[in-house]
Each structure stands twice: as structure tokens, then as C-alpha cells.
């Protein structure tokens, strides 16, 4: 039990410090926005660039690892989409935003931090393999589904859909960082030592600053919206996704490190990007915001359980 506390509590305490700082007006909203802009547009893209650049793509891109994780993600999106539409009677555009909440696990701010705390930095290679495809796959699915729903609602042609999706994805800083890192890796490119050290300095700030900023952002997320929909999102994100990943990972006999990374990443709450996506389209914003808040709080307990069950 003490080991689990040592792993989980420091991560959530950093989030809590950010939350309290925003709540007590010790840190302004503009300051929180600045932190999040720095981490999401610069520090985390640098982290992803550095990780993908130095990752052994042949060794760590295990197709069975990716199937184990993304089968759960896509199942969550499908159930979230259909549940929002047919159980909770949302329109299709709202339903896509709810489905995206069930799709986009917090693989970076929470997944990396908790896996590193639990198993050390050497255990993160499978995390980076998952993360390398996370934004491209999730945003690709979400943007495509939303643009189809919008085209249907407006009775317009979907002929421009591929270009719309590509333009939206490559405006995303995370996708840009991953793409440049993959290019450097495949082409075996290097950088001067001072540049590499400068990138490493930025990378070292990414997770703690992102966690603190995340706490400040969560303070703004009031528990509003449909509580049944929020509970539905939390159940899919915190229970169904990791259960599917556990089942497939066991069936595929994944290596222990890869299995741990996949299950822990799948067990994370919806990330801030769930709200970013909802806000980008102006759909289901209250549900997305509240789902991020509640699921992040609940994950303090559920992640504890998954960690206890892992080999």
C-alpha cells in the first residue's frame, strides 16, 4: 500500500497544488493559460520529438501492444458515440464529442508520470510507442467523425473531408512534434550537442509543469452537465478501456513492461484534449469539462486498483 501511495500521491499532489493555487487566486487564469500553452505547444511536443527521435522503432513498435491499447480506445469511442446518441438522446455532433472523451486517455500528463513513478524511466518505451500514434489516431477519428456529422447535418458534400482532417491534424503541436521526431528517427538525423541539451532542459519541465497547470485548468471545470452522461464516460474510460487492454494484452502474452504500460495508459482519465476537442467544435463542452474533472478525481482510486493488479 505504501508503495502505491508513493507512486500515485505525488502526481495527484502536484495537480492538487495547481488546483488550490487557482482556487485561492494565488495563480491567475492568464498564468494557468500560459503554463498550458507552454506545455502543450512547446514542452510536450519537445518531449515527444525527443522520445520518438531516439526510440528504436523496429524493436518497440509491437503491433500487438498497439492493438491491445487501441482496440479499447476505439471500442470506447464507439460506445460513447452510440450511447450519447441512443441512450441520452444527444444530437450526432454532441455524441461525437462525448465519444472523443471516451477515446482520448490522458497518456501524457498522467500516463507517463504514473508509469515512471511506478516502474522507472526505463519502462516508458511502450508508453512512447502508444503516444506516438495517440494524437494522430484519436484526432483523426474524432475530426473525421465530427466532419461527417456536420456534413450530414448541413446536407453538404463530404468531398473535402480528407483535406479538412489533414489540415486540422497538422495544426496540432503534438502531431507536429511526433512527426518531426519520426522523420529524424527514420532519416537518422542528428542535432548539435548544445541544441540537444537545450531541448532536454525544456523536456525536463514538461510533466511537472503540465500537471500543475492541469490542476489550475481543472479548477475552472464546474460539475455541470448531464451527470448520467458523465458517469457513462467515467465508466468507459476508467474501467472498460483498461479491462479490454488487459484481456487482449494477456491473450497476446505481451512482455511485462509493455503490458504494464498499456494497461496503465488505458486506465487514465480523459485528457485535457477531450475538452479542447469539444471546445474546438463548440459541442458538449460542459459534459467534456466535467468528465475530465470527475474522472481525474476518481482515477486516484481506480489507478490504485489497476496498479495493485499488475504483475
The pLDDT value recorded for residue 131 is 86
201 exposure class (CB count in 10 Å sphere: 0-12, 13-18, 19+): exposed
Cα–Cα distance for residue pair 108/129, rounded to 1 Å: 12
CA 38-40-41 angle, to 5 degrees, is 65
pLDDT at position 219, please? 86
pLDDT for 58 equals: 67
Please give the domain boundaries of the chain with CATH numbers for all domains.
Answer: 2-309 (1.20.1530.20)
Could you give the C-alpha distances from 299 to 44, 113, 206, 207, in angstroms and in order? 22, 14, 21, 18
Q: Which stretch of DSSP H or E encloses residue 75?
A: helix 63-82
CB within 8 Å of 230: residues ≥ 6 apart: 223, 287, 290, 291, 294
State the DSSP string of 20-54.
Answer: HHHHTTSS-HHHHHHHHHHIIIIIHHHHHHHHHHH
CA 287 to chain centre: 17
**DSSP state for residue 79 in the 8-state scheme:** H
* SS3 (DSSP) at 104: coil
Output the pLDDT for position 280.
79
* Rounded Cα–Cα distance for residues 114 and 108 (Å): 10
Res 174: pLDDT: 80
Q: Which of 270, 265, 277, 273 is nearest to 292 (CA)?
A: 270
| Global pTM value | 0.82
pLDDT of residue 255: 94
Low-confidence ranges of the chain (pLDDT < 70): 1-5, 7, 57-60, 156-159, 222-225
Q: What is the pLDDT of residues 3-36, one digit of tens each?
A: 556 767 787 888 899 999 999 999 998 998 898 8
Distance CA 166, CA 136 (A): 10
Give the model's pLDDT for residue 2. Answer: 57
Amino acid at each position: 500500500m505504501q508503495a502505491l501511495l508513493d507512486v500515485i500521491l505525488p502526481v495527484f499532489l502536484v495537480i492538487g497544488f495547481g488546483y488550490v493555487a487557482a482556487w485561492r487566486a494565488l495563480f491567475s487564469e492568464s498564468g494557468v493559460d500560459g503554463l498550458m500553452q507552454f506545455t502543450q505547444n512547446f514542452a510536450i511536443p519537445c518531449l515527444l520529438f525527443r522520445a520518438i527521435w531516439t526510440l528504436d522503432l523496429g524493436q518497440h513498435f509491437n503491433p500487438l501492444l498497439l492493438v491491445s491499447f487501441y482496440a479499447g480506445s476505439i471500442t470506447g469511442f464507439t460506445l460513447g458515440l452510440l450511447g450519447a446518441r441512443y441512450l441520452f438522446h444527444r444530437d450526432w455532433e454532441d455524441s461525437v464529442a462525448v465519444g472523443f472523451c471516451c477515446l482520448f486517455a490522458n497518456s501524457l500528463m498522467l500516463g507517463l508520470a504514473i508509469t515512471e513513478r511506478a516502474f522507472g524511466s526505463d519502462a516508458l518505451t511502450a508508453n512512447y510507442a502508444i503516444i506516438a500514434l495517440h494524437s494522430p489516431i484519436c484526432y483523426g477519428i474524432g475530426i473525421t467523425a465530427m466532419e461527417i456529422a456536420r456534413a450530414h447535418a448541413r446536407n453538404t458534400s463530404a468531398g473535402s473531408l480528407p483535406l479538412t482532417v489533414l489540415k486540422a491534424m497538422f495544426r496540432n503541436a503534438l502531431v507536429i512534434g511526433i512527426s518531426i521526431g519520426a522523420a529524424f528517427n527514420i532519416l537518422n538525423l542528428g542535432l548539435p550537442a548544445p541544441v540537444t541539451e537545450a531541448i532536454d532542459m525544456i523536456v525536463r519541465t514538461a510533466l511537472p509543469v503540465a500537471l500543475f497547470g492541469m490542476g489550475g485548468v481543472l479548477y475552472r471545470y464546474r460539475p455541470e452537465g448531464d451527470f448520467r452522461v458523465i458517469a457513462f464516460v467515467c465508466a468507459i474510460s476508467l474501467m472498460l478501456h483498461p479491462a479490454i487492454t488487459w484481456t487482449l494484452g494477456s491473450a497476446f502474452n505481451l512482455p511485462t513492461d509493455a503490458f504494464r504500460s498499456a494497461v496503465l495508459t488505458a486506465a487514465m482519465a480523459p485528457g485535457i484534449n477531450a475538452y479542447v476537442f469539444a471546445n474546438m467544435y463548440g459541442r458538449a463542452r460542459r459534459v467534456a469539462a466535467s468528465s475530465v474533472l470527475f474522472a481525474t478525481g476518481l482515477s486516484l482510486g481506480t489507478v490504485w486498483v489497476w496498479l495493485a493488479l499488475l504483475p
